[in-house]
Structure 1
Amino acid sequence: ARTVSVSREDGKNLNRVFPGSMDGTFTDKLAYFMEKELFSRIDYYIDVHNGDWFEDLTPFIYSVGNAAPEVVAKAEAMARKADVPFYVKSGIGSGGAYNYAGTLGIPSVLIERGCKGQWSGEEAEASGKDVRNILRYLGVLTTEPETQRQVPVHMHHVHYVDSVREGCWHPFKKAGDAVRKDEVVGILKDYFGNVIEEVRMREDATILYQTISYSVPANSPLIAYGHYGECVDDLEEEAADHVPDDCMDHSHETNGTLFHGAHFHGEYGVHTHGEIQQTATENDK
């Protein structure tokens, strides 16, 4: 079981239960405490995040998108101070800590950097620099900004693909790779070597993160990819996030139906063979 992201007290992921509840289990109460004792006292929120232990991830940043226009605009400006290639505007307003903070009027971002349960001094310093530069933009720090090599581009459309059933995952690409429409980026096999799912790109895109573990449970994340142009599914809102955690211009794919909503590892919608349904189930990174 993938238990690294959940509390051992109740098996819940803290970054999926906001706003929480005093009448809930341990994790619900912790989220409730954070809202009442932390969110009530802050002006801005920066979540320093990373990919899961079973994921390969390229650095990017989320900003809140389900909030008042001035909050969304401020969060986007914060995101542009991060030294990463992309930013994604999340349409989720609950579940994740930073998502919910946005609905409370707090401009919030979530930095994604690091993965596979590993860390490096370079990655830690890069995230520290991003935090410091955002704080300089906000006027919290008054020192000169550190060098920003790139300004993130708004990735308007993000798709999250989940497994149809449990099996053995064979990814063909790496996070950060640019891929072409109709390119096969991975296959899922059963335990006898039969291919049970093929993940094929629906448009030119960049892989944001993907599962790299061999064994995957049913209905679990396989890959997330994003692009800048018109979405093939004509979703008209802004991109949502991982966390999954993570739902605006994004979709989630399995074997037949497109869901526009939030789903386990970020904000997903799911598509299979063209029929569209609306869902509000919650999911991340």
Structure 2
Amino acid sequence: MVYLGSEDSLAVTMIKGKHDGPVFTLVAGVHGFEYPPILAIQDLMKRIQPEKLHGTLVILPLANEAAFYGRSVFTNPKDGKNLNRVFPGKAGGSITEQIAHWISKEVIPVSDVFLDIHGGDASEDLLPFVCYYNRKDTPDQVALAHRLTKAANFEYNVVYPYTLSPDAPSEYAFKEAVQQGKTALSIEAGKLGNVQPAMVAMITEGVMNMLATMEMYPFDEKRHVNQKWLKEQVYLKCPSTGIFYSNIKSGDKVAEGQVLGVITNVFGEKLADISAPASGTVLYKVGTPPVNKGETLFCIGK
């Protein structure tokens, strides 16, 4: 355990392989309500046998314990901050900022590969995908991130543009690793704050495929998947606070201008029609009735 302040701690596991090799970091629970990644990491920690491992696994099985045990959506209930919005953090900041700072200063610098695993939080209907940033001035790291993303064997893969200046705050955990020049990527699987065993298994298999590709651990159970690559994202922000009605699900194909849903007030009076700003595939959306002005209502991948 790493102790932060007088009462808070962060669990860290290191599995040192019998053979030399790279350092591969796995992080789950940055958002404590995203359960499939957390349970997949529990499975992986039991599965890995050090005598078969080449290199070292650094594992943060539950990066945001207070959010997990407090059943808190997105934020740490101790300070109200979103861990995936405060990187690189602050040494003397609030508990969430201290966690981000410790990961930024102690974990990322020693990592050859940094994998941040997420899922759909309590309100998010999410399509499983693997993603990385296309940082053009680090071609070797991007090439490896692409190879690992492909190796994970998910149907959908997302490439994000990278536009941060060197001194800009990264905000996100794996974006901080990219900012530090590391090979970094993220798995997204699971939705609506539930445990879907198929999503837990998908994450576990994806990580094992990555380790096999790195020649760190033997694994050969790959299914044939017709992979799709999405290289542009369009975000639709919620125009008003209210009650959201939509029959659209993650993974649906939508056309520009298509009506995706409607928002009403508490009296059932229509406040806004929601139309698709572009054609593409719904990566994630708000999947529960309450919505708030300004939050992301849909993310559409092109």
Q: CA deviation at 1:165?
A: 1.8
Q: Quick check: 198-207 or 143-152, which moved more?
A: 143-152
Among 203, 210, 226, the alignment partner of 1:134 is 210
Q: Quick check: 108-117 or 79-88, which moved more?
A: 79-88
Counting only pairs closer than 5 Å after superposition, residues 239-254 of structure 1 correspond to structure 2 as none
Give the secondary structure class of the aligned counterpart of 2:112: coil
- Distance in 2 (CA, whole Å) between partners of 1:153 and 1:130 is 16
Among 149, 163, 171, the alignment partner of 2:224 is 149
Give the secondary structure class of the aligned counterpart of 1:34: helix
Runs (4+) of structure 1 exceeding 6 A deviation are none
**Higher normalized helix content (fraction of residues):** 2
CA contact 2:246–2:262 (8 Å) conserved in 1 = yes
- Distance in 2 (CA, whole Å) between partners of 1:84 and 1:70 is 22
- Distance in 2 (CA, whole Å) between partners of 1:118 and 1:47 is 19
Q: Say how many residue pairs are matched.
A: 225
Among 66, 87, 98, the alignment partner of 1:29 is 98
User: Where does residue 66 of structure 2 map in the other structure?
Assistant: none
Rg larger in structure: 2
What RMSD in Å do the two structures reach over aligned CA positions? 1.8
Q: CA deviation at 1:180?
A: 2.3
User: Where does residue 84 of structure 1 map in the other structure?
Assistant: 154
Counting only pairs closer than 5 Å after superposition, residues 170-181 of structure 1 correspond to structure 2 as 170-181=245-256
- Distance in 2 (CA, whole Å) between partners of 1:8 and 1:126 is 29
Q: 1:162 to 1:202 in 2, by over 3 A?
A: closer
- Name the % identity: 28
Among 189, 207, 215, the alignment partner of 1:113 is 189
Structure 2 length normalisation: TM-score? 0.70
- Distance in 2 (CA, whole Å) between partners of 1:12 and 1:191 is 29
Counting only pairs closer than 5 Å after superposition, residues 146-225 of structure 1 correspond to structure 2 as 146-150=221-225, 152-225=227-300
Tell me the alpha carbon deviations over residues 217-243 of structure 1, each in whole angstroms, 9 at most, x when there is no partner: 22112111111xxxxxxxxxxxxxxxx
Q: Quick check: 36-45 or 67-76, which moved more?
A: 67-76
- Distance in 2 (CA, whole Å) between partners of 1:33 and 1:78 is 26
Q: CA deviation at 1:151?
A: 5.1
Q: CA deviation at 1:153?
A: 2.4
Q: 1:95 to 1:148 in 2, by over 3 A?
A: farther
User: Where does residue 140 of structure 2 map in the other structure?
Assistant: 70
Q: CA deviation at 1:21?
A: 1.2
Q: 1:203 to 1:36 in 2, by over 3 A?
A: closer
Amino acid at match of 1:76: H
Among 56, 71, 79, the alignment partner of 1:10 is 79
Counting only pairs closer than 5 Å after superposition, residues 227-242 of structure 1 correspond to structure 2 as 227=302
Gaps of 5+ in 2: 1-70, 165-169
- Distance in 1 (CA, whole Å) between partners of 2:90 and 2:240 is 33
Amino acid at match of 2:203: S
Q: Quick check: 170-179 or 67-76, which moved more?
A: 67-76
User: Where does residue 53 of structure 1 map in the other structure?
Assistant: 122
- Distance in 1 (CA, whole Å) between partners of 2:141 and 2:226 is 20
**Higher normalized strand content (fraction of residues):** 2
Q: CA deviation at 1:34?
A: 0.8
Q: CA deviation at 1:188?
A: 1.3
Q: 1:151 to 1:39 in 2, by over 3 A?
A: farther
- Distance in 2 (CA, whole Å) between partners of 1:91 and 1:7 is 28
Give the secondary structure class of the aligned counterpart of 1:197: strand
Gaps of 5+ in 1: 228-285
Q: 1:91 to 1:52 in 2, by over 3 A?
A: same
Amino acid at match of 1:148: R
CA contact 2:76–2:96 (8 Å) conserved in 1 = yes
